[in-house]
Amino acid sequence: MEAIASITPEIIETTPAAPPVAPKLISGSEALMMALVAEGVDTIFGYPGGAIMPVYDALYDFQDRLNHILVRHEQGAAHAAEGYARVTGRAGVCLVTSGPGATNLVTGIADALIDSTPMVCIVGQVAKKLLGTDAFQEADVMGVTMPITKWNYQITDADEVPDVISKAFYIAQSGRPGPVLIDITKSAQLELMTKPFAYERCQSIISYRPRLVPKLEQVEAAARLINSAKRPYVLVGHGVQIAKAEAELLTFVEKTGIPVATTLLGQSTISTAHPLYVGWLGMHGNYGANVMTDQADVVIAIGMRFDDRVTGDASKFIKQAKVVHIEIDPSEIDKIIRADAPVVGDAKEALNALLSLVNPNDHTVWRNEFRKYDVVEHETITQPVLNTAEGKIRMGEVVNMLSEKTNGESILVTDVGQHQMMASRYYQFRRPNSLVTSGGMGTMGFALPAAFGAQVGAPDRQVVAIIGDGCFQMTLQELGTIVQNKQPVKAIILNNNFLGMVRQWQQLFHQRRYSFVELQNPDFITIAKGFGMDGMTCDQRENLSDALDTMLNHDGPFLLEVIVEKEENVFPMVPAGTSVSQIRLK
């Protein structure tokens, strides 16, 4: 036995090699979920439907990583995503189905484009083989959204999902931010990828290279104009907040002593209490801030686009001034107002580059010129609004009292119309990034869902929506979203039973021919309570303070309806098509 053992070949016991395991392949829907998680998305505003159902099925397994908020209408999803994006600086995400689900997003997408708001909209589409057949809920969303998106793309192959989603977020959030739409066919949602999922964040695209750092020669030319100016004037737009350049702006103006005005969307970039702040521009902006544009010898426009609400008749706007235009979007340079010293780049980078080139200065005498107009405006407009004891409550009273009670530190979300202008006039902003409103599109129905989105994005800040009675009725169903998600949004309806701004124009420019502007309103508080939201109505001036306290101190969402003067007008006013020098005080 022993001899036999000695000749027996040595036996090495080994574990049989396991057969190779093929990497798990996942569906397009699961790939979409994994891509959103990899991109850092935490919240989705959406509404399910047939053509996006596979994605929603995948979402069921990602609820611990992706907070999906079920809105009551797709337009509400878009505005909520805008509100979220405006306070966070990150792209808001919408998820909806095809056809009407997608087209209901269109108003919000257009709103986001013109107000430079990053948003990624993912919409379902019919299966690839049904494209072009007029299948159920098929719509040419690509064609519809092409002019109102920064980029749109239709996914027909599951393998495309990671790269397309990566590009979508990069494009939406870089350069001048804006909305991106991804149309994904149902077949691409259902089919398996043919390769393992891998995600890499997009950092650049060959054909898309927004310039962040401006050219040195452009900055030097701007600095020469600024240093030579006797009556320089800084006009600040939304682009400064987008670039998170509030601190750089403050350093720049404090070094140079230049007075600062903002556009509507630029409000809250600088505290209204800062001695260099002279007001806001535009059709209903401050008297001095508007009129003095015609006195400046150098205008430094930063992150703004000279829209008609600022310029009035653009052919007569700042004709006497040299213009420095700092703007990340080169298509805005020379589009409306010619720039003597264009600076293409990110506002933060441009201001940092300018800081070492501009001279310390003091323009006290020039700044004091603005204050003369402030006195006139206060005596003619502000004081009568805030110190009246007769008639119904005025909109300015409500906003002014709210401003005092919140120390100017709330995030204000406004709709569009008279209440929007009153909010901008009478709220004293003390913190950056504190106004969310629809500036370019002027979208009624924006405020309620946008306030909800802003509260989700900024849970540590108090969010107050200021809404007109007409606007409120366009998206009031989102009360249900607010209640279901337990967001402590406070909403104030300034109820004058009119489409107030249209009525004002009919009064001033159409011989008081009030054509279809009076509203027979429902009981807003009963509606709110029907959704489960507490609320109250205030129609007496002596009760206003207590009513605001009740709202602000309420634990949870609250709706306050304030019955205001029916035919109050907003002044100052630069009538459409006129120059800023023709501004009206009454």
* Catalytic residue set: 74, 136-137, 186, 501
User: Which region holds residue 99: left if phi is over 0, alpha if psi is between -120 and 50, else beta?
Assistant: left
Q: Determine the Cα angle at 204 with ends 200 and 209, to 5°.
A: 165
User: Please, which residues have CB within 8 angstroms of residue 362's CB and are 6 or more apart in sequence?
Assistant: 257
299, 295, 253: which is closest to 276 by C-alpha?
A: 253
> Residue 378 carries which DSSP code?
I
Strand blocks (E) in 92-178? 92-96, 119-125, 151-155
The one-letter code for the residue type at 48 is: P
Compute the distance between CA of residue 516 and CA of residue 584 in angstroms, rounded to an integer.
Answer: 26
Handedness of CA 370, 375, 379, 385 (dihedral sign): positive
User: Please, which residues have CB within 8 angstroms of residue 542's CB and are 6 or more apart in sequence?
Assistant: none
Q: Measured between alpha carbons, how far apart are the two ends of the chain, in Å?
A: 121
Cis peptide before 572 (omega within 30 of 0): yes
Six-digit token string for 396: 């300015």
The one-letter code for the residue type at 224 is: R
The one-letter code for the residue type at 521 is: N
CB-hemisphere CA count at 13 Å for 253? 28
45 CB neighbour count, 10 Å cutoff: 32
Compute the distance between CA of residue 184 and CA of residue 566 in angstroms, rounded to an integer.
Answer: 48
Compute the distance between CA of residue 47 and CA of residue 105 in angstroms, rounded to an integer.
Answer: 11
253, 257, 227: which is closest to 240 by C-alpha?
A: 253
The one-letter code for the residue type at 110 is: A
HEC sequence for 160-188: HHHHHHHHHHHHHHCCCCCEEEEEEEHHH
Instruction: Give the DSSP H/E element, type plus range, for residue 467.
Output: strand 463-468
33, 36, 45: which is closest to 487 by C-alpha?
A: 45
382 CB neighbour count, 10 Å cutoff: 18
User: Please, which residues have CB within 8 angstroms of residue 111's CB and are 6 or more apart in sequence?
Assistant: 78, 79, 82, 117, 438, 440, 441, 443, 446
128, 154, 130: which is closest to 141 by C-alpha?
A: 154
